[in-house]
Amino acid sequence: MAARTSLRDYQRELAARLKGAGGGRAASKLGLLAGDESWLVDLADAGEVIPVPPITPVPLTRPWFRGVANIRGKLYSVVDFPAFLGGAAVALGEQARLLLLSERFRMGGALLVDRSLGLRNPEQLQRRETRAAPSPWVKAEYGDPQGVRWKELNVLELIRHPEFLEVGA
């Protein structure tokens, strides 16, 4: 019988192998769909991507703050990322996912997104000029060969931004 590996351990091993293959830098970024926007997240900033567990609403919070989720005995604050960006809230369904932020941020935060788009190779992306003044959590914008426009998320800037931290209504 094959040995069981947890999803978290598998993702850590995969990230380590990708980093090693890239000569010390991450060879891939995680692609996410938030509303109608495609986002890239550095693998070092992503703890785990999981199906959406039950979320307990918290009263007197902003509409984009969906509540808290218990994941393996740890509470995570769940932010509906597309709603935070000013779009429609994520419809909880089969493709919706939670991006658990890396433990290095020590915040127990998770971003609710419409779906995971898998790994993307940064070498296949062309940097583009931003259309307007970007939010502080937009690190850069890229285009891929299929014409998809990608925004790279600066997780540290996002979680430090006063607008993101002010969840009370």
The DSSP annotation for 38-62 comes to EEEEETTTEEEEEE----B--TTB-
Asked whether residue 127 is assigned to any structural domain, the reply reads yes
10 located within any domain: no
Residue 16 counted as domain residue: no
In a domain, 76, yes or no: yes
Residue 13, phi then psi, degrees to nearest 5: -65, -40
Residues 6+ apart with CB under 8 A from 1: none
Backbone angles phi, psi at 122, to 5 degrees: -60, -25
Give domain status of residue 72, yes or no.
yes
What integer pLDDT is reported at residue 26 of this predicted model? 46
Count of domains forming the chain? 1
Residue 106: its pLDDT value, please? Answer: 86
Q: Is residue 14 part of a domain?
A: no
Domain assignment present for residue 56? The answer is yes
Range of the domain at 67: 28-165
Tell me what pLDDT residue 55 has: 97
Cα(150)–Cα(152) distance, integer angstroms: 6
Task: Say if CB 46 and CB 12 are below 8 A apart.
Answer: no
Spell out, as residue ranges, where the chain has pLDDT lower than 70. Answer: 1-8, 10-27, 131, 133
Would 8 be classed as within a structural domain?
no
CATH of the domain at 101: 2.40.50.180
What is the reported pTM? 0.81
The whole-number pLDDT of residue 19 equals 56
